Structure 1
Amino acid sequence: MTDVTVSPPVLELRDVSVCYRIRGRAVPVLSRVSLSLGKGEVYGLVGESGSGKSTVALAVQRVLPSNGYVSGGQALVNGRDVATLDRAALRQMRARDVAMVFQDPGRALNPSLTIGRQLAEVFEILGSAGGEALRRAEAMLERVRISAPARVMERYPHQLSGGMQQRVVIAMALAKDPSLLILDEPTTGLDATIEAEILDLVDTLRREFGASILFISHNLGAIAGLCDRVGVLYAGRLVEEGPVRPLFRAPRHPYTVGLLRCLPRPGLRKSLAPLDTIPGFPPAPGSITAGCVFAPRCGLADETCRTVDPPQVELGEGRVSRCHHHDRIGSLPHEVVRPLPTAPQPAEHAAGTPVLELASLSKTYGAAPYAVHALRDVSLRLMPGQTLGLVGESGSGKSTLAHALLGLIAPDAGGRMALDGATLAPEVRRRSPEQIKTLQIVFQNPDSALNRSHTVRRLIGRAVTRLGGLAGALREAQVTRLLEAVRLTARQLAARPRQLSGGMKQRVAVARAFAGNPRLVVCDEPTSALDVSVQAAILNLLADLQAERQVAYLLISHDLGVVRYLSDAIAVLYLGRLLEVGPAANVLDGPHHPYTEALLSAAPSVTGERSGRIRLTGAIPSGINPPSGCLFHTRCPRRFGPICETEEPPFVADAAGHAIRCHLPREKLGRSMAAMPA
């Protein structure tokens, strides 16, 4: 009889519990979490903020904060209990066995060192000499698909795009050939095409290196496209686990169902129905001591759920669920939401004075021969009560356009900006108080946008005073009205930002933007850092406020699901040039520009299907020396002749106002699969 040696899992958690000491009290943040990863497997971990995802990653590496500790269970890496390792063995494990890629590559890289120096340090720690370390560093950059790695080695982090920075961080993590790679939200904030490239890269490299991957993300589409199995965390409990596609196709826990329902679905627009949301908020750590942790937010909850902790139920085919009513998931009610206020139909938007009109807007940074053309002859119209979605990869000019509109940078001479028909001065200090309060912005990160030392009352009240000119009782009344408009209560008035959830902070930011009754609000990635449940609530809020007040939105986002749901019109920018603009349905369904087609195909889906993906070759060209002819021809998969390289295509609109800048005739341009006849 032959002995068969079975390798232990690369990562195994056995009933791991973690507590934090807060004001002398042990607060549980993880409760009896068990999971395992085999060699070469990708395991996804999903859940709302505060569910314990990052705590799992920290516990595996034994790098919990000083007030955190593992209160029960075992975490094993390659069969060794991390808690029993001495200092030398622990250092060896972190140096060779486990590597981690964080969410923000800009913060993970040292801004004062070149890329080559930083990557070479990894190989020096592993024992290579100076020259050999540099050679291995260059080879590793090539392995993560960075073109011209020798030139990249000489650059500093700020000289690279977000996607390039993330590739460098992945190269540093893989340099030691780890058996376990932990990815903590590695694609948050990246454009759809860059996100797809990073996921493809990770999938390819895990096959080359044979590494196991723990992939932490709130992006359910990214999880579906990359992972073999997925675990769903809620309030520190693993409530469901199984193979990713069957689980997302037919979830067996109410929380998983709620997360999937929150996603903007193809074909659903703001004018048709609000998005589903999960009622209530996640509980404070340790606040639920009996029953199911999800019971307070669950539409199926009964007395048993509130008093008896649900057991782990084996569902077959590697699937488990912690739910008393896992066999009744089909009867889970949708959250009762109030109907949307009546909004104008697209035809009504066509008449009247545009709230915003841009004519031949350009912006050039620097001077020849190093001039960067960030915007080129951009012309757009936006009507009251309408949302214009602005999409394009990093470096396309989206932020430059927003900054010019807000008066933070002055555009080149010759262009014109108009707000409600009146010319908008290029610099904010030259604009009238009425124009300043009429044009506001909601930023991507409320933590950076809100003064953490001020209360909610002061944050909103100050904006009411400065933009609305109100004081005393009138100011307090307006603060209360704004708070009610964003679905917050008077209980939040005395709170400071650190005491609020991410969704609440973004609601405060929205309330502040509406303090002066604006006509136009720039929404700069307003939901990219939020969980899908909070994202759905914020999108519903923006849609409600728009319908009630007829405010216009300029929506900047890389999430095409968000753009699809909220936008009436879409503009596609590339190297500062408009390649396509028109009604949202026309742009999304097609015919559309090859660049738009590639962006749409790169958007992740919870089905995990990636067969229709159009891969763009090469990097975005430099704005200092842009391509001749069509700006997109160096990456275009449908380039067909010399005319693409020598002549700029015309910007031709059809009867619906759908304009495309391409030499190909419309009948030969792509269409979305959803728009094609069966």
Structure 2
Amino acid sequence: MNSVTPSAAKIAIERLAVNGPQGGVIVHPWSAEVGSGETLALIGESGSGKTLSAKALIGLLAPGLSASGALLVNGTRYSLAQAEGDWQPLRGRLVTMVLQDPFTALSPVHRIGEQIGWTIDAHAGKLSSRERADRIRASLEEVRLPAEIAEQYPHQLSGGMRQRAAIAAALASQPQLVIADEPTTALDASNQASILELLDRLGRERGIAVLLITHDLGVVRDYADRVLVMRQGEIVERGSASELFTAPKHEYTRSLLAADPVTAMRNGDLAGAGGAAGTAETPVLRASGVMKSFAGRPVLRGVDFEVRGGEIVGLVGESGSGKSTLMRCIAGLELEDAGRIEFDGVPVRPGRRDRTPEMAQIVFQDPYSSLNPMFTVGDTLREALRVADRPASDASELLEQVGLSADYLRRRPASLSGGQRQRVAIARALAPRPKLLICDESVSALDVSVQAKILELLRRLRDETGQAIALISHDIGVVLAVTDRVAVLRDGVVIESGRSAEVFGNPQHDYTKQLVSAALGRKPRDDGDLEVKEP
């Protein structure tokens, strides 16, 4: 059942600009067109002005910032400088936004059906209860979710299902333009592919124009019709996706492509990190037969995993496969139900009783939430050094290890970029001189050029200090770029392992083949055939 008809939108962005509180230009004027069923990608590094441009197009700039220019929809001109009261009836009906994190877009205390219903109520006029329920069911059906999802809360759904629900809520108003701002960054490769295929299909079926904002060049390569490249608030290159990837004109575009690990995979560079030592007779970490259940549901089903000094070992798999749970057991943050965990050949009891800071430290995914905003960088590092019983004067040495100068000791997280914050988080983790450094999706929130620098930092730590590193990631390009060995985890079981170049260059298990195919950007089968897992 589908009550939606194509909207056949033709969108023109006319001299969009964003100005700061003192009148300074943050985003310089730019123009573009995107037609019915087309996807226009806007790419560039963090801080380049991509998201500010998106917020200007939907009237959501922060206080103190102002927009100029216009949005033309089928010939009707809407000023981007109009007042909030004029924007309110246009959001949803004219333009809507799909955010990076569906937890941000969805209310955690309301059922999915209620939230889709709010959008319908705001734009469809007075409907009977039956008509409203039918519209909610049709919205879920359109994104390939079963009707019973309407009664579920966001926390009861997987990440991919939450994003589908958020898309259903956004599209229930039948908008002309959808702004998708990093819609798949937090998802694993197979879920990324299904969400992107969904947006692509809905855009073409309903004639919706899509503005896709992303730092993932693989996404752009496979789903964008045309591309704008933004740097420091200016569009420096534009053209078709095929032109951009085969013959980039601007040096900045070429640098972005050079930093993209998936581009290397597509070009047949499956050499991986390689060349690491990793020859210590006794592994720094050995986990054997680790098992863990939550509320009677098995999450780890006898996992074996080891890391030697001087090597980086990857752990890949879809969301919910057990990757983070295994690492939390290794770090003592979870109590394993069975199995054996050893550091340098010495077994430790489950939990934190036997664990010392010198055994394992974790660097988490989000550099924006992992640091205390009230502490300076110096405060953060000196506290970590105090716990490790090291002198506070070693703070400068820690920063030097991660490629930052001592000047950063006086700065607070708010004044740092995402890459700089993640370097500080790594420096903090190195304070106890841990045997094992665990990086849990530590570059997934970063754009490709910053990501490349953090990966190079990890390689340098391995090569120069012999640091043992376990890298959790759903991004196979990242894993291949930096790891020596890899283990593929599915439903709490290691299904394939070995040298990274061999596993990804010649995968043996069907599941690994699917992950590699999704990472390389080969579009999945028609979305109607995608399996939907029940919550």
TM-score range, shorter chain: over 0.9
Instruction: Give the direction of change, closer, same or farther, for the CA distance of 1:613–1:408 in structure 2 (3 Å limit).
Output: farther
Distance 1:134 1:495 in 2: 53
Distance 2:437 2:104 in 1: 29
Instruction: Give the direction of change, closer, same or farther, for the CA distance of 1:269–1:503 in structure 2 (3 Å limit).
Output: farther
User: Which of 350, 367, 375 is the equivalent residue of 1:426?
Assistant: 350
Amino acid at match of 1:122: T
User: Are positions 1:358 and 2:287 aligned together?
Assistant: yes
Distance 2:111 2:362 in 1: 35
SS of the equivalent of 1:176 reads coil
> Counterparts of 1:66-215 in structure 2 under 5 Å?
66-70=63-67, 72-78=68-74, 79-83=76-80, 90-125=87-122, 126-127=124-125, 128-146=127-145, 149-215=146-212
Instruction: Give the direction of change, closer, same or farther, for the CA distance of 1:563–1:518 in structure 2 (3 Å limit).
Output: same
The number of residue pairs the alignment matches comes to: 521
Whether the aligned pair in 2 keeps the contact of 1:124 and 1:130 (CA below 8 Å) is no
Distance 1:209 1:452 in 2: 44
SS of the equivalent of 1:449 reads coil
Whether the aligned pair in 2 keeps the contact of 1:121 and 1:133 (CA below 8 Å) is no
Instruction: Give the direction of change, closer, same or farther, for the CA distance of 1:508–1:613 in structure 2 (3 Å limit).
Output: farther
Amino acid at match of 1:375: L
Distance 1:223 1:30 in 2: 22
Amino acid at match of 1:411: E
1:226-259, Cα deviation, whole Å (9 max, x unpaired): 1100000111111110111111211101110111
Whether the aligned pair in 2 keeps the contact of 1:41 and 1:228 (CA below 8 Å) is yes
Distance 1:84 1:365 in 2: 51
Amino acid at match of 1:551: Q
> Counterparts of 1:38-77 in structure 2 under 5 Å?
38-70=35-67, 72-77=68-73
Distance 1:501 1:88 in 2: 34
Whether the aligned pair in 2 keeps the contact of 1:222 and 1:604 (CA below 8 Å) is no
Whether the aligned pair in 1 keeps the contact of 2:8 and 2:208 (CA below 8 Å) is no
SS of the equivalent of 1:106 reads helix
Amino acid at match of 1:74: A
Distance 2:9 2:516 in 1: 38
> Counterparts of 1:357-436 in structure 2 under 5 Å?
357-366=286-295, 371-413=296-338, 415-428=339-352, 430-433=353-356, 436=357
Distance 1:375 1:199 in 2: 30
SS of the equivalent of 1:446 reads coil
1:443 equivalent in structure 2 = 364
Superposed displacement of residue 591, structure 1: 4.2
> Counterparts of 1:412-561 in structure 2 under 5 Å?
412-413=337-338, 415-428=339-352, 430-433=353-356, 436-467=357-388, 469-471=389-391, 475-476=392-393, 478-561=394-477
Superposed displacement of residue 407, structure 1: 0.8
Amino acid at match of 1:446: P
Whether the aligned pair in 1 keeps the contact of 2:273 and 2:480 (CA below 8 Å) is no
User: Which of 213, 218, 221 is the equivalent residue of 1:221?
Assistant: 218
1:302 equivalent in structure 2 = none
Distance 1:135 1:9 in 2: 25
SS of the equivalent of 1:437 reads coil
User: Which of 556, 562, 565 is the equivalent residue of 2:481?
Assistant: 565
Q: Percent identity of the aligned residues? A: 42
Whether the aligned pair in 1 keeps the contact of 2:112 and 2:153 (CA below 8 Å) is yes
Distance 2:234 2:424 in 1: 30
SS of the equivalent of 1:357 reads strand
Moved more, 498-507 or 94-103: 94-103
1:92-148, Cα deviation, whole Å (9 max, x unpaired): 3224121111111011111111111111222222222333212211121111111xx
Superposed displacement of residue 439, structure 1: 0.9
> Counterparts of 1:26-41 in structure 2 under 5 Å?
26-41=23-38
Amino acid at match of 1:459: T
Superposed displacement of residue 270, structure 1: 5.9
Amino acid at match of 1:618: E
Distance 1:611 1:427 in 2: 41
- TM-score scaled by structure 1? 0.74
Greater gyration radius: 1
Whether the aligned pair in 1 keeps the contact of 2:9 and 2:209 (CA below 8 Å) is no
User: Are positions 1:580 and 2:496 aligned together?
Assistant: yes
1:454-474, Cα deviation, whole Å (9 max, x unpaired): 11111111111211x123xxx
Instruction: Give the direction of change, closer, same or farther, for the CA distance of 1:13–1:612 in structure 2 (3 Å limit).
Output: closer
Distance 1:586 1:20 in 2: 51
SS of the equivalent of 1:582 reads strand
Superposed displacement of residue 350, structure 1: 4.9
Instruction: Give the direction of change, closer, same or farther, for the CA distance of 1:485–1:616 in structure 2 (3 Å limit).
Output: farther
Superposed displacement of residue 581, structure 1: 1.6
Superposed displacement of residue 543, structure 1: 0.3
SS of the equivalent of 1:67 reads coil
| Pairwise CA RMSD | 2.2
1:131-185, Cα deviation, whole Å (9 max, x unpaired): 3212211121111111xx2221111000001100110111111112211111011
1:336 equivalent in structure 2 = none
Amino acid at match of 1:144: V
Amino acid at match of 1:20: G
- TM-score scaled by structure 2? 0.93
Q: Which runs of 5+ in 2 are unaligned?
A: 1-6
1:631 equivalent in structure 2 = none
Whether the aligned pair in 1 keeps the contact of 2:41 and 2:211 (CA below 8 Å) is yes
Whether the aligned pair in 2 keeps the contact of 1:102 and 1:184 (CA below 8 Å) is yes
Distance 1:483 1:251 in 2: 36
Superposed displacement of residue 224, structure 1: 1.2
Whether the aligned pair in 2 keeps the contact of 1:443 and 1:524 (CA below 8 Å) is yes
1:69-102, Cα deviation, whole Å (9 max, x unpaired): 12x5433333313247677753332241211111
Superposed displacement of residue 8, structure 1: 11
1:603 equivalent in structure 2 = 519
Whether the aligned pair in 2 keeps the contact of 1:45 and 1:230 (CA below 8 Å) is yes
Amino acid at match of 1:524: D
Amino acid at match of 2:281: G
